Structure 1
Amino acid sequence: MDKLSPRERLGIGTVVPATCLLLLLHFGQDVLRPIAIAGVLSLVIAPLARKLTRTGMGRTIATLVSVVMVAVCMVCMSAVLAIQLVDVGAGLPQYRAAIMSKVESAREVVVRPFERFEAELKGVAPQATPAPAPVPAPRARSSTRSAAPAAPVASNEPLPVQIRQTPPSAGDLVSKLLASLWGPIGEAGIVFILLVFILLEHESLSDRFIRVIGVAELGPTVQALSDTAQGVSRYFMSQVIVNATFGAIVGVGLWAIGIPHAALWGSISALLRFVPYVGVLGAAALIAIFSAAVDPGWSLVLSSLTLFIVLELVVAHVVEPQVYGHSTGLAPLAVIVSALFWGAMWGPVGLLLSTPLTLIIVVVGRHVRALEPLSILLTDAPGLNAGQRFYQRALSDNTAAIIKDARLYLRRSTFAKYCDQVLLPGLALAGLDFQLGRIDARQRGRIDKTVVGLAETLAGGRTGKRFGRRRSTVSLADASLGSRLRQIRESRLGPYQGRLDVPSQSVVLCAGFGSERDELLTELLVRALRQDDVDARSVSLAEPPDPDMADKASLVGTVFLAYPRHDAVDAWRATAAEMRAALPHAAIATVRLPLDEAGASEEQVKDSVDLILHSYSEAEAFVLQSAKASA
């Protein structure tokens, strides 16, 4: 028998369990649905039970009191809904007449003009003349007619039988009512029992789950359980409070406007708000339809919709961000898809539980590797980090998006942090892929041109249009990326990258050793410091010294040496010693970046410099603090 390829094994190992899981969710919903409801309710009630426990109650008493309080609230809400629904049902004929009247008036405004237009078109267009119907031939008359009437013809057709149902008795009505309520009442009882035992055995269930997972996964499992039990339960409890308050305010507002059965519509608004996106629209539509039914005009409809929309905007954009953050952390599309999935699986109950169940999967997926793909797909966090996104856009030659993101980033931060968090990680990925042969020289040249254009746009304040004309002239065939950036800056500032009649020790010198890596890192550091109005300049120690600069050593106050590679530590130490002898009054520092895996150890470097920094942000802070102290 032929062995399956890894791709085939992966396909079978993924498709078969997923199919079995979907079948289990659908056909086992009678068992799984009460367990899911009880689990979600336990997360909602857990904070209340913990607060009661802190007051001195025993754990069992606190659990029972919490469950009874929630049960009483649900029974009261159900009773209010039932009474209000009976009243609405009694007035349905009157409401139906008002709705039909408004539909007819709306039809006159919206539909009638199109019908008249269609009739006019039919009147203008020529109509085909229908052919005359054939006249039936007369029957042959008999020569003799009988004066006597024809005898009735005997018919063999059966006589129709009418079945009349006897009106149901009171006992039959009660039996049907109990039969229709037995399913929901029985499921509610099962949920109540499961809820009590889940709350009582919370710690025991956690220990058993950890034992099933295994000691090797103890850390991630404990963290996942902790986040689910605390963070998710706090969010659900907050959502219950917010939605209940929303429903109460809607009910009071509708009552003040004059809409009957305001408590019913407030309760429906609170319940439907648990359904993401669609629930709010459904509640608004129901309230608008009922308002149209009870009011001969349109004032109640406009007033109720205005109240609902204003309140929803305030809650969604002001209250919810203060209570439990701006959002659930779920992507909007993922929320809609999860609602469709759970609604198809479990019906209305699945629709209400869609967001809680999906949020639990996301939280657990952050710590459990098997669920990590689902967590990535369902959250609204970007799938790529900032460095990966920069690298991907540079490869696809999407420079406009890179510049746009960089400008947005620089509105709240500095270019030094942009280098630490976006530019340098993206360039590190590009360098690694180039070494491994994953990208060719043409793609690398495209990335280099993107970096040159980005640096010049951010430094010179050019618009995207001007950059688009300039980028085609950039050539890196005769220079490395860092050298090219330095040449562009020298063409703008002069060969010394600035004036020489500056105060003593006001210049920050960034020195590299001629390699492509050193040239790029020193040039980016210079540009990051110059964004803060620091007189930063770069120099390549591999080039011969300029005799005109021999007497300008007093201008340099700080020197940043490029961090050495592990195979060039000795030469770097000798150069650092020469630099200290030539600039005795200058502070000598170096920056070891976290992504620089080829760098030497800090033990080999620390004796040759005054300070070892670990990011451009730290270098920026050091220079600014030194300038402030000297001033």
Structure 2
Amino acid sequence: MIEIDPPARAQVVPAEVPGLAALLSLAVGVVSVAALYLARDVLVPIMLAILLSFILSPVVELLQRLRLPRVPSVVLAVVIALSVAGVLATVMGTQVASLATDAPRYAVTIRHKVREAQSSTIGQLPAMIGALGRQFDRASGGLANPVRVVSGPRALRTAPPPLPVEVRTPPLSPIALMRAVLAPVIGPLETTGIVVIVAIFILLQREDLRDRLIRIFGATDLHRTTTAMDDAASRLSRYFLTQVAINALFGTIIGSGLYFIGVPSPALWGVLAGLLRFLPYIGPVLAAIPPLILAAAVGPDWAMSFWVIGLFLVVEPIMGYVVEPMVYGHSTGLSPVAVIVSAIFWTWLWGPIGLILSTPLTLCLVVLGRHVKRLEFLDVMLGDRPALTPVESFYQRMLAGDPDEALDQAEALLRDRSLSSYYDEVVVKGLQMAAADCLRGVLDDARLDRVRRAARALIADLAGHDDSNPPPARGTAPNVRTLAEKALPATAAPIAAVHPLTAAWQANGAILCVAGRGPLDEVGSSILAQLLDKHDLGSRTATYAEVSRDRIAELDVSGVLAVAVTYLDLDGNPAHLRTLLRRLHDRLPGVPVTVGLWRRGENEQESPDADQVAGNLREMVIHCRDIAEAGGAADRDLMAAFA
């Protein structure tokens, strides 16, 4: 009896669900946010103390360089900080007290101006509506049944008047009165005391805290970890101290400007402007509102208000776009989107104090992410450094068919490197990624054609750049480079000409740039032809189809003195390269042939049929230049012999 196997059951692959590691990371994130929210009463003073320690750390170091011991230096720095805070509080208190006496008069003036503005704008709206209604009534012939309006029901006229009710609070006892007066003061005093004490201990035990952090995060290289942490601490200290100085300068300029404009209590508004400028983006706007309202209450017209608006519109852009870039450098290291999102996040967690601390806390997280490998995602999420390398960014622009953004990136990188270096380190590697995707079948013909067109457009746009190293820009540090720029090697020495070239090598088509078999080798040959032209070598390109077995006999070889074959992606030494070189030698006997293999296999050997093998475009140009100079020298020797 033949047994028949039961049919296999159809199986449906279940949808993927988050793994244990992803769920654990999510749980850690949720618990961390909840802990930050629930422990805000403890964490806010500690964060303020850490911020104060970063600000006072350069002051302590300065006092120690003046031969003052560590403990007196810390105490003196804290006393100076408290004295400055006390002076500012005293100035603000006296200014507010003097302003409060004239507040009723200012309120009457503001109401009068608002009433005048309403009467001249919105107040005319009822009259306009009434006139429009009368015109409509005349056009329609009047109402057919006019409605009689009654002032009110008669029952309301005969109703008895309501009884007056008065609510009186009992007098407070002395203890309750003392509690009501001291309660608003005790909280800030407690917070200030905690901040000062914690900041003093942080400044005194700075090295010990650094060692404990190294122990917590671990260190396979103690020297590099210590250097990184010291560098991060010094950068944060300089940034916070510089921010305090810039905001103080901003407040001084605003206070002086308001004094000359004639706004009452200018010192109060100057101090308030300096403090509110710690709030990202919205701080200067909030600082401008009180003096603007006061200017409207003081001046007989609106001229003083316009002067206040002009003062803030002039000073804030100068501070934000001129002074800060000169002091901080090109960037503070934070992404603009990260600054906004972090401001919303920390305000939601800790309220107004969180808004003030949002930028310093975000900067601390970014610095931590740059030096701790496990926290690198913080730098990627919050930092302003590019998330993609120049090669990846170039390939992404080519896939999107956007050569304009690729041109912007190219011009940024060409500020400190030559054109051939940019082609070798960015364009060629990006085209190799595209060729690899094409061979794997993930890049269809439409996208491949888009990459070709975008790359050709970029090459055409870069035709005006010389292949030479640009001079270093003034005022920029040579070692300050972004993450994307650090992914590129330093630019090589420029290609120098030793001997002048003859007219034959400068003629069009002296070097035949032959494209390989790859899908993007024609783009590589176009780049090589452009670089050869920039070094006074005449060139023209030929596709792989033009040098095929069937069409190579029809190839125009008049004036060809050398051949350069380009392969963007070639693993090993395939047979089609050897046959191509054999056909070229047969068609152009005695003409030197240079092969550019930008990506070589591990076991690849130099082709015996090629005179030179280059590993990049720069080597290719140097080989062609050497061949041309040698040929020109031979021609000159021959002419000298005949002479």
Q: Is the 8 A contact 1:510 1:562 kept in 2?
A: no
Q: 1:118 aligned to 2:129?
A: yes
Amino acid at match of 1:87: S
Q: 1:416 aligned to 2:451?
A: no
- Corresponding residue SS for 1:361: helix
Decide whether aligned partners of structure 1 residues 611 and 113 sit closer, same or farther in structure 2, where only a CA change above 3 A counts.
farther
Partner of 1:395: 399
- Corresponding residue SS for 1:366: helix
Q: Is the 8 A contact 1:569 1:600 kept in 2?
A: no
Partner of 1:567: 572
Q: Is the 8 A contact 1:342 1:350 kept in 2?
A: yes
Matches of 1:332 and 1:550 in 2, distance apart? 57
Decide whether aligned partners of structure 1 residues 275 and 551 sit closer, same or farther in structure 2, where only a CA change above 3 A counts.
closer
Partner of 1:342: 346
Matches of 1:403 and 1:346 in 2, distance apart? 42
Partner of 1:280: 284
Q: 1:231 aligned to 2:232?
A: no
Q: Is the 8 A contact 2:53 2:203 kept in 1?
A: yes
1:364 to 363, 368, 376: 368
Amino-acid identity (%): 32
1:18 to 29, 53, 64: 29
Partner of 1:51: 62
Amino acid at match of 1:356: P
Q: How does 1:421-570 map to 2 (within 5 A)?
A: 421-455=425-459, 502-503=503-504, 509=511, 514-516=516-518, 520-531=523-534, 534-537=537-540, 567-568=572-573
Shift of 1:616: 3.7
Amino acid at match of 1:567: G
Partner of 1:39: 50
Q: Is the 8 A contact 1:563 1:590 kept in 2?
A: no
Amino acid at match of 1:535: G
Q: Which moved more, 1:405-414 or 1:300-309?
A: 405-414
Partner of 1:141: none
Shift of 1:359: 1.2
Partner of 1:71: 82
Q: Is the 8 A contact 1:564 1:599 kept in 2?
A: no
Shift of 1:191: 0.5
Amino acid at match of 1:527: Q
Residues 36-65 of structure 1 deviation map (CA, whole Å, 9 limit, x = unaligned):
111122112212222222222222222222
Q: 1:84 aligned to 2:84?
A: no
Residues 303-355 of structure 1 deviation map (CA, whole Å, 9 limit, x = unaligned):
22222222222222221111112332323232122111111211111111111
Matches of 1:628 and 1:290 in 2, distance apart? 79
Shift of 1:279: 0.4
Q: Which moved more, 1:400-409 or 1:66-75?
A: 400-409
Decide whether aligned partners of structure 1 residues 460 and 220 sit closer, same or farther in structure 2, where only a CA change above 3 A counts.
closer
Q: How does 1:615-626 map to 2 (within 5 A)?
A: 615-616=616-617
Shift of 1:16: 1.9
Shift of 1:116: 3.0
Contiguous gaps of at least 5 residues in structure 1: 139-158, 462-499
Q: Is the 8 A contact 2:296 2:304 kept in 1?
A: yes
Shift of 1:267: 0.4
Residues 487-543 of structure 1 deviation map (CA, whole Å, 9 limit, x = unaligned):
xxxxxxxxxxxxx99345888746668432765534422223325654244578976
Amino acid at match of 1:267: V
Q: Is the 8 A contact 2:524 2:566 kept in 1?
A: no
| TM-score under structure 1 length normalisation | 0.74
- Corresponding residue SS for 1:327: coil
| TM-score under structure 2 length normalisation | 0.73
Q: Is the 8 A contact 2:74 2:204 kept in 1?
A: yes
Residues 241-294 of structure 1 deviation map (CA, whole Å, 9 limit, x = unaligned):
111111112112222222221111110110111111100111122221121122
Q: Is the 8 A contact 1:510 1:536 kept in 2?
A: yes
Q: Is the 8 A contact 2:255 2:270 kept in 1?
A: yes
Matches of 1:310 and 1:614 in 2, distance apart? 55
Partner of 1:323: 327
Q: Is the 8 A contact 1:224 1:364 kept in 2?
A: no
1:250 to 244, 247, 254: 254
1:189 to 169, 187, 193: 193
Shift of 1:358: 1.0
Matches of 2:164 and 2:521 in 1, distance apart? 103
Matches of 1:628 and 1:109 in 2, distance apart? 85
Matches of 2:154 and 2:274 in 1, distance apart? 75
1:333 to 334, 337, 340: 337
Q: Alpha carbon RMSD of aligned pairs, Å?
A: 4.6
Contiguous gaps of at least 5 residues in structure 2: 1-13, 138-142, 156-162, 466-500, 634-643
